[in-house]
Structure 1
């Protein structure tokens, strides 16, 4: 995607991010509320093309006061086109701490492949967050 740009999302972007996130319409409003909060706090990065939003990621500092990519979501039609990698790079470039972490469910093979392709390294495994689907944590070496 040659015309892809990444910028910090604002509260005005919350509805567009909610529209591209398939979870936001089916979880009773929790994701919509999170997206609004992330946009208000300036934690969300928005990837967009001339056609509109293509994805977003959220960078927070609540994981042992280190950078943590809490969410990475790419719109269905934009998947496999480098949007996720671009968002992860933007998160790394803007991270204020020496370490940057993220995680993915063990069953989330596309996310794990993306993280491995973009240089992230496995850092641990946690059981019990989602029943029967452990969470794999990753660290981006600096």
Structure 2
């Protein structure tokens, strides 16, 4: 059974296993821990196993910004990213929600488009040769 909820500190190690599997190291541990403590991390569970998570903040021009969405690679294309996005849209403290992904990340671009986000800009010089596309959605 799929469920979504705010992450708790007890979830940190399980979240870190997912993050490490995807990025190859544990460099974001303190960032993720802080997001959990500040109630800015949402987890997707299936049969009491965390299969994905989303981190957001409101530092992007006082708008909600989804800074990270990660789903275990074996669990992708099963609706978890969409469920996490829908959850944050419902609880967002701001009317405007932004996010971004690299131009090379076609899969994430499809997720944003499928969830009603529109392109709102392009930022160069973050990742060499791979601009960041900014996405926007209003509640």
Q: Smaller-chain TM-score range?
A: over 0.9
Tell me, what secondary structure is at the counterpart of 1:30? coil
Q: Does residue 1:94 correspond to 2:91, yes or no?
A: yes
Q: Does residue 1:79 correspond to 2:63, yes or no?
A: no
Query: 5+ unaligned residues in a row in structure 1: which ranges?
Result: none
Aligned ranges 1:1-142 → 2 under 5 Å: 3-21=1-19, 22-23=21-22, 25-26=24-25, 29-142=26-139
CA contact (8 A) 2:22 2:72 kept: no
Q: In the TM superposition, what is the alpha-carbon distance from 1:141 to its structure 2 partner?
A: 2.8
Tell me, what secondary structure is at the counterpart of 1:36? helix
TM-score normalised to the size of structure 1? 0.92
Structure 1 residue runs of 4+, over 6 Å off? Answer: none
Q: How many angstroms apart in 1 are the aligned matches of 2:59 and 2:27?
A: 19
Spell out, residue by residue over 1:89-141, the C-alpha distance to the aligned partner (whole angstroms, 9 max, x if none).
Answer: 00111101110000000001100001111110000000011111100000013
TM-score normalised to the size of structure 2? 0.94
Aligned length: 138
Query: 5+ unaligned residues in a row in structure 2: which ranges?
Result: none
- Coordinate RMSD, CA, aligned: 1.2
- Going from structure 1 to structure 2, the CA distance change for 1:23 and 1:77 (only over 3 Å counts) comes to closer
- Going from structure 1 to structure 2, the CA distance change for 1:141 and 1:98 (only over 3 Å counts) comes to closer
